[in-house]
Amino acid sequence: MPVSSKETRRSRLQYCLQDNPFLTDEELAARFGVSIQTIRLDRTALGIPDVRMRTRQVAQENFDRVRSMSTGEIVGKLLDLKLGSSGLSLLETYEDMVFEKTRIVRSHFIFAQADSLALAVIDADIALTGLVNVKFKRPVTVGEELLARADVIRTKGDDKYVVLVETTSAGQKVFRGKFVVFVMDEEDDS
């Protein structure tokens, strides 16, 4: 739906990106019924960086909240984190992640993203994966961006959490995993 005035469009663009900073220029152009170049000009005028920079900023803000692991241990970019509740991460797939012959992304990269996100959402200093039930829904090829969402769906006492992680690419589910995560006290590791 085309937006009538430049000021109105820019105001709506700003609101749209506050609500979802991961929208691409292409998606915004389609939403506002204007060219990609118009969106880029609007973003520049408003001082809004491109989607990669916005993603990087959101990821950095969320890394600081993680308790159970260091930021270098998380596979993918952490986009959102609500400790004890949910999280969101983005993994870009590259040439070095695929089988040479088939160009399909190796499953351990997809699993590692989900596993590290399941651990990151736990509000504890030490969290370990205890049990996992996974389903790979379809092959992932090089160049796809994987968006993983983790939700704590159940707690069992103070030391066990069940975390559901679902990973999508372009809106299509590619992975589902149910993780049982154990929490340990720091004294327990002796």
pLDDT at 66 exceeding the cut of 80: no
For 149-167, write each residue's pLDDT tens digit. 999 999 988 899 999 999 9
pLDDT at 135 exceeding the cut of 80: yes
Could you tell me which residues are beta bridge partners of residue 104?
141
Q: What is the CA radius of gyration of the chain?
A: 19
Residue 157: per-residue pLDDT? 83
pLDDT at 65 exceeding the cut of 60: no
Residue 1: per-residue pLDDT? 47
pTM for this entry: 0.68
CB 126 within 8 A of CB 190: no
pLDDT at 63 exceeding the cut of 70: no
- Mean pLDDT confidence for 135-159: 94
CB 77 within 8 A of CB 47: no
Domains in the chain, ordered, with CATH?
6-48 (1.10.10.10), 57-189 (3.10.129.10)
pLDDT at 3 exceeding the cut of 60: no
- Mean pLDDT confidence for 54-76: 67
85 vs 62, more confident: 85
pLDDT at 22 exceeding the cut of 70: yes
CA angle in degrees (0–180, nearest 5) for 173-75-161: 75
Confidence band, pLDDT 50/70/90 cuts, at residue 107: very high
Quick one: tokens of 11?
């105001």
- Mean pLDDT confidence for 111-118: 96
Quick one: tokens of 184?
């340990």
Handedness of CA 69, 71, 75, 79 (dihedral sign): positive
Residue 70: per-residue pLDDT? 66
CA distance 175 to 161: 20
pLDDT at 64 exceeding the cut of 60: no
- Mean pLDDT confidence for 24-49: 89
- Mean pLDDT confidence for 1-22: 77
pLDDT at 190 exceeding the cut of 50: no
